[in-house]
Structure 1
Amino acid sequence: MLRRTKETNDKEGRPIFVLPPTDIQVIECEQTEAEHDFYDALFNRSKAQFDQFVEQGKVLHNYANVLELLLRLRQCCNHPFLVMSNTQKYADLNKLARKFLEDSNPDPIALKQIFPSKAYIEEVVEDIRRGENTECPICWESADDPILTPCAHRMCRECLLSSWLSPQSGMCPLCRQMIEKTDLITCPTQSRFRVDVEKNWKESSKVSKLLKCLEWIRKSGSGKKSIVFSQWTSFLDLLEIPLKRRNIGYLRFDGKLAQNQRERVLKEFNDGNQKAVLLMSLRAGGVGLNLTAASNVFLMDPWWNPAVEEQAIMRIHWIGQKRTVTVRKFIVKDTVEERLQQVQARKQRMIAGALTDEEVRSARIEELKMLFR
């Protein structure tokens, strides 16, 4: 297998192809007094619970719970409305459990497939009933827009679909069972927010910074297109409100779109002039996804794994790009987001294979302590 990167040179020492440069900027956002008070109260409550896990020596035993605490703090940095969401309420969980067990057909032809045990199904359903948000086995984040596979594994919808080579089917990353897209079970929820976000809309500091940048690009008359990445589809839902109110044309690209819808959205974004903003989930994607029509990238929230952010940027800074790509990373000052950048540096060492398994285990605990500092 031959591997060629953008930095690869030919036999004469010349780059195999030349791209315009990237301009990476960190946009620091300062919370309003109301946002700061809300965040502080949430942080103090989360830190008290985390410190209790540390004192008991059970941090990794409660890793999913710790991720949930961090998830809420990180979402709060984007917009407090994300934390004011309903805990997920699932309709008729007993019926869901029966569906899994009935589908576990002991027919000899089906024995080659792996079916979940009754005890495991009961455990999964009980976790859902308690409103627990588990870690996605693909991105290692708290699952966003979680789905259940026929083999009773829970993960982000977009992470799973992006891992498949085909848009219609692929393997479960845990048990390697073949799954059809039509077999995925969406966990039904009620309203995602406890408040009427349209009626009570208020911009967060991070949203205000984004809107100023988009307005500046629109007024410049350059015709440049922008892609706004977030790891939470619920935040993309919120961003639609101010974009509509300011008459900023936009399109939406996430895992809920069927393949033909994805193709239509990308074609309209690449070819059209009316909608110059693409709201895109950081988890969404696919093999060969090319977004070089855009030259502005907005990363609204830092990711645990810096390689995911890099992959998002590379979809724009790739063959066919003719303009300098401006990347803006939004970080809220004096919050967990600042410390998350230090964690990203540690992750780079892990990716490079510089740590042993035991060092990785120790580093994970130290990272969590750093975030709750």
Structure 2
Amino acid sequence: MGDRRGLKMVQAILRPIMLRRTKCSTDRSGRPILVLPPANVGIVYCELTEAEKDFYDALFKRSKVKFDQFVEQGRVLHNYASILELLLRLRQCCDHPFLVMSRADTNEYSDLNKLAKRFLKGSKGAVPRDTGVAPSKAYIMEVVKDLRKGEEGECPICLEAFEDAVLTPCAHRMCRECILTSWRGIACGLCPVCRTTVNKQDLITAPTNSRFQVDVDKNWVESSKVSALLQELEKLRASGSKSIVFSQWTAFLDLLQIPLSRNNILFVRLDGTLNQQQREKVISRFTEENDILVLLMSLKAGGVGINLTAACNAFLMDPWWNPAVEEQAVMRVHRIGQTKAVSIKRFIVKGTVEERMEAVQARKQQMISGALTDQEVRTARIEELKMLFT
């Protein structure tokens, strides 16, 4: 495993029989086989307001204490899911502090309420394979109870900490949007873990009183990243240029709908909870109606064949662990059929875990290349986590 010679041997075997064409492919004369308009990629660096920074720093210090404990115990990889949960909250905080408060029953962050109130008041205007034996009701209720208490875990599909977790009748947990996206049918599909047939209505939702702990509409405050996005969209409004806003969290899409509505920016939304008919309707509206300038889209929405060349602007609101996921999202815009120059902008908050994730993405490319052994991969993974908590 991890032997570079083995990788080269596999490549040599596949090269004569596998047809692969990329945007960089050329013909025998050296000319590109596909000519597309240019795609300009840029980064929008955002500065946290003082109130946001206080909130983030408090959350980071608490998370670092827990991570350091795992390091001292030599159990970093044994607690990988718990660490992903810590990082998830830090990354969500970079988008908007409201996301950290998105689970009304999470008591772990209750001591941050004072800083949360300061943000609300002080930042206004700131920028098993089926065995035939169903799990017992008592077992399912126990798992749901653990979810409600905020038990950490990792979605088996996206390999991220759970967001809007659901429990299948076969007692497997995953993000709601992830499992719905993985199905080809509208009302049912297979459990990605054990391949048991699951109906949509049988999914059990982890109970919460509200998606947010605060009335986000009544207490709305723009985060620095939201403000930066609105500035970009205002520049494009007069030209009628269409844009796609990508985020990996549907809760953040919920939040973005508030300022877009208040600023009279018409939008539609596409995420994994929509069935095929609903998706087609959304894409049709975005493509054909001149007034619809923004498409809010989840990175988990899937659908490699989705053609969104009606837009020529793509905004990636939060970095993903795997840069290939971001690439796939952008390629829905910069592809055959696109006639205009494409602008791609990634939003990164300075001095936060988002900046350090960029360095981690570069290291992941080395691992993907197969240049590391199993032990080196384990060591690199630990070093990456340490980088994120420095």
Which TM-score applies when normalising by structure 2? 0.84
Residue number in structure 2 paired with 1:20: 37
Deviations 1:234-278 (A, max 9, x none): 111111111111100011111222221111111000111111100
Match of 1:254 among 254, 263, 271: 271
Residue number in structure 1 paired with 2:171: 152
Structure 1 CA distance, aligned partners of 2:350 and 2:89?
Answer: 16
One-letter identity of the residue aligned with 2:173: R
Structure 2 CA distance, aligned partners of 1:347 and 1:117?
Answer: 41
Does the CA contact (< 8 Å) of 1:87 and 1:131 recur in 2? no
Could you tell me how far 1:43 is from its partner in structure 2? 0.7
Could you tell me how far 1:353 is from its partner in structure 2? 2.0
Following superposition of structure 1 onto structure 2, how do residues 44-83 of structure 1 map, counting pairs within 5 Å?
A: 44-83=61-100
**Change over 3 Å in CA distance of 1:10–1:63 after alignment to 2:** same
**Change over 3 Å in CA distance of 1:326–1:111 after alignment to 2:** closer
**Change over 3 Å in CA distance of 1:131–1:40 after alignment to 2:** same
Match of 2:217 among 177, 195, 198: 198
Please identify runs of 4+ aligned residues in structure 1 that moved more than 6 A: 117-120
One-letter identity of the residue aligned with 2:257: E
Larger mean CA deviation between 298-307 and 123-132 belongs to: 123-132
**Change over 3 Å in CA distance of 1:114–1:158 after alignment to 2:** farther
Could you tell me how far 1:112 is from its partner in structure 2? 5.9
Larger mean CA deviation between 53-62 and 160-169 belongs to: 160-169
For the pair 1:282 / 2:303, whether they are aligned, the reply is: no
**Change over 3 Å in CA distance of 1:6–1:190 after alignment to 2:** same
Structure 2 CA distance, aligned partners of 1:290 and 1:206?
Answer: 27
Following superposition of structure 1 onto structure 2, how do residues 345-360 of structure 1 map, counting pairs within 5 Å?
A: 345-360=362-377
Could you tell me how far 1:113 is from its partner in structure 2? 5.7
**Change over 3 Å in CA distance of 1:88–1:320 after alignment to 2:** farther
Larger mean CA deviation between 231-240 and 347-356 belongs to: 347-356
**Change over 3 Å in CA distance of 1:16–1:115 after alignment to 2:** farther
Could you tell me how far 1:127 is from its partner in structure 2? 3.0
Could you tell me how far 1:158 is from its partner in structure 2? 2.6
Structure 2 CA distance, aligned partners of 1:27 and 1:318?
Answer: 23
One-letter identity of the residue aligned with 1:215: E
Tell me, what secondary structure is at the counterpart of 2:297? strand
Structure 2 CA distance, aligned partners of 1:135 and 1:207?
Answer: 27
Does the CA contact (< 8 Å) of 2:26 and 2:33 recur in 1? yes
One-letter identity of the residue aligned with 2:48: Q
Residue number in structure 2 paired with 1:368: 385
One-letter identity of the residue aligned with 1:61: H
- Provide the aligned C-alpha RMSD in A: 2.3
Does the CA contact (< 8 Å) of 1:163 and 1:286 recur in 2? no
**Change over 3 Å in CA distance of 1:359–1:35 after alignment to 2:** same
Match of 1:272 among 289, 296, 299: 289
Larger mean CA deviation between 194-203 and 78-87 belongs to: 78-87
For the pair 1:327 / 2:341, whether they are aligned, the reply is: no
Does the CA contact (< 8 Å) of 2:60 and 2:90 recur in 1? yes
Q: What runs of 5+ residues in structure 1 fail to find an aligned partner?
A: 90-103, 105-109
Following superposition of structure 1 onto structure 2, how do residues 1-373 of structure 1 map, counting pairs within 5 Å?
A: 1-88=18-105, 121=140, 124-125=143-144, 127-219=146-238, 221=239, 223-373=240-390
**Change over 3 Å in CA distance of 1:141–1:199 after alignment to 2:** same
One-letter identity of the residue aligned with 2:59: L
Larger mean CA deviation between 133-142 and 264-273 belongs to: 133-142
Q: What runs of 5+ residues in structure 2 fail to find an aligned partner?
A: 1-17, 107-127
Could you tell me how far 1:182 is from its partner in structure 2? 4.2
Number of corresponding residues? 352
Structure 2 CA distance, aligned partners of 1:320 and 1:283?
Answer: 23
